[in-house]
Amino acid sequence: MRINLLLLLFLALFCSCKEEITLTTRSNEIQMVVDGMITDEPGPYAVTLSVTSPLGQPEHIPLTGCTVTITDDAGYTEILAEHKDGQYLTHSEGIRGQPGREYQLSIQTPGGRHYETPFQKMSPPVKIDSLYSEVQYTERTDQPGSLPGLQFFTDSEKASAQENYFLWRITETFQYELDYKLYAIYYDGEILINNRDTISGYDSLYTCWKTHDAGTFFTGSTSSLKEAKIVKQPLHYVGTDTKRLSSRYSFHLHQYCIDRETYYYWKNLQEQITGDNFLLAKQPYNPTGNVRNTSDPQETVLGTFTVASVTTKRIFRSRPALPFYLDSCMVGTDLESMFKTMGPAFLVIGPQGMGKVHKDCIDCRSKGGVPRKPSFWTDY
């Protein structure tokens, strides 16, 4: 935040400029990426192996055909099965993480290289005490003025140990409705009225639920605190410029308790991806996790294998009494030209009377959701 503001200050004071540049890179060194986790939740646990992709064409390039094993400190070893390209899973009846036990990941590539992590102890879980939100205003990025929204916070219960390290990830689910209900379809010279003529079922596409990872993570630690309790840790911010808060919103927090090294990995990674790399920002570099090439320790292996205990908590938020800044569907009122075509055209009753809209505007699935209420969903 402070970096942004300094930037803003200079931009505002001295008409400094920010201009987009084309990013071209001379080399495209391919590096191995490990993304895996074992928790105390029931498995299966996934380890995803991939390699870096070029800047211009970001894609997931799986690393297939590896032998991936997880070993615990009791001598139990499980070979993970390649469930799909690059994704290796433990058996659902197989290894089960337990706080206090240690786990090691090792990887043998088809090319004969061997990678492994040290044994890492699973930290004891710390319960989430509460999860709550406050109305906050942020600077709008696209235009002057402030944008209201909800800032989410969490408190943890007091932990028994003084030093606790946390990784927080959020899965958000939101219910959303279309701007307009379908009134009629024009097709081949005919207007078919919804719920009267032979078409129906469109009303079931009016409300959807979308679940996704919030695309961000947060880290925190109690090691510098007076008592081993996190109080009001800021998490995700949800603005009123999207439909997420427009109907009903579920915030599902996963609180992972990790060890110190893993914490620094995620913290440094977070600084790299959220920092604006400006003025007070640190030198960019590639944080590396705990995976090492056993014969070449200097090889950069990106990603990490996280050993964590986890607790979760979910809260719901109904539409807050705040102004929303949403783009709504365009309603075309030029129906005359529509009649010159074969169609189909989708008609709604807009603010200026009947008009036509794009097909996406009468199908909530077009925004990525599903028209099925999730099992955990509560409407009150």
Partner 1 sequence: MLSAIAASGQPLQKDVRIPPQQSNWTDFTSTLEKENNIRFFYDPSLLPGTPVVVAPDSMLLMEVLRNYFSASGIQVSSDGSGNYFLYRDFKLQTLPGIFFSGSVSSHSPGEKTVTSPSKGATVEKYLSTTRTLTTEAVDIGKKGSSHSNRVILRGKVTAAEEGGSVPLATIKIEELNRYVTSDQSGRYEIALEPRNYTLTVNSLGYFEKSFRINLYSDGDLNITLDTKSILLDEAGISAIRNHNVQSTQMGLDNLTVAAIKKLPVMLGEQDVVKAALMLPGVQSIGEISSGFNVRGSPADQNIFYINGVPVYNATHLFGLFTTFNPDAINGFDLYKSNIPVEYGGRLSSIFNIDAKNGNLKNFSARGGISPVSGRVMVEGPLVKEKASYLASVRTTYSDWLLKQVDNHDISHSTASFYDALMNLYYRINSHSNLSLFLYGSEDLSDIAFGFGNRYANLGGSVRWSYDFNRNLGLNLDLVKSRYAYEEENHEVAYLANRHSFSLNHTEMKLGFRYNLNDRSSLRLGMSSELYGLDHGDLRPMNDESRISPLHFQSEKAMVNSLYAGTLLSLSERLSFEGGVRGAWYSLLGPGTIYDYLEHHPRESTNITDSTHYGKNEVISRHRHLDLRLAARFSLLPSLSVKASYNRLHQYLFMLSNTISVSPTNKWKLSDPHLPPMAGEQFSVGLYQNLMQNKLELSIETYYKKVKNLVEYKDGADFLSSRYPETNILQGDLKAYGTEFSIKKKGGKLNGWINYTWSRAEVKALDKNSGEANNRGMAYPANYDRPHAVNTVFNYNLSKRLSLSANAVYSTGRPVTFPTSIYYQNGIQITAFSNRNAYRLPDYFRTDLSVNLEGNLKKNKLAHGSWSFSFYNLTSRKNPYTVIFRNEEGKIKGYEVSILGTIIPSINYNLKFGNYEN
For the record, the structure tokens of 360 come out as 């996406």
Least Å from the CB of residue 158 to partner 1:
11
Q: Of 310, 151, 290, 299, which Cα lies nearest the Cα of 232?
A: 151
Least Å from the CB of residue 169 to partner 1:
7
Least Å from the CB of residue 140 to partner 1:
11
Residue-wise DSSP of 226-272: SSS---SEEEEEEETTSGGGTSEEEEEEEEEEE-HHHHHHHHHHHHH
Least Å from the CB of residue 103 to partner 1:
18
Q: Which is nearer to partner 1, 18 or 340 (CB)?
A: 18
Q: Which is nearer to partner 1, 75 or 215 (CB)?
A: 215
Q: For 271, how many CA atoms within 13 A lie in the half-sphere containing its CB?
A: 16
Q: Which is nearer to partner 1, 48 or 90 (CB)?
A: 48
CA dist 377 and 364 (Å) reads 18
Q: Of 146, 148, 97, which Cα lies nearest the Cα of 319?
A: 148
The residue type at 141: T
Least Å from the CB of residue 18 to partner 1:
5
CA dist 304 and 231 (Å) reads 28
The residue type at 249: Y
Q: Which is nearer to partner 1, 43 or 355 (CB)?
A: 43
H/E run at residue 266? helix 260-274
Q: Which is nearer to partner 1, 210 or 248 (CB)?
A: 210
Least Å from the CB of residue 201 to partner 1:
32
The residue behind tokens 């947060």 is 218
Least Å from the CB of residue 139 to partner 1:
7
In eight-state DSSP terms, residue 28 is -
Q: Which is nearer to partner 1, 248 or 254 (CB)?
A: 254
Least Å from the CB of residue 295 to partner 1:
14
Q: Which is nearer to partner 1, 27 or 375 (CB)?
A: 27
301-307 and 32-38: which strand pairing? parallel
Q: Of 34, 146, 103, which Cα lies nearest the Cα of 307?
A: 103
CA dist 151 and 55 (Å) reads 32
Query: Who's near 141: CB < 8 A, 6+ residues apart?
Result: none
Bond before 99 cis per omega within 30 degrees: no
The answer to whether 167 touches 263, Cβ cutoff 8 Å, is yes
Q: Which is nearer to partner 1, 10 or 376 (CB)?
A: 10
Least Å from the CB of residue 19 to partner 1:
5
Instruction: Report how far Cα 256 is from the mean position of its chain's Cα atoms.
Output: 15
The residue behind tokens 């009225």 is 193
H/E run at residue 6? helix 2-14
CA dist 159 and 132 (Å) reads 20
Q: Which is nearer to partner 1, 190 or 261 (CB)?
A: 261
Least Å from the CB of residue 289 to partner 1:
9
Q: Which is nearer to partner 1, 237 or 264 (CB)?
A: 264
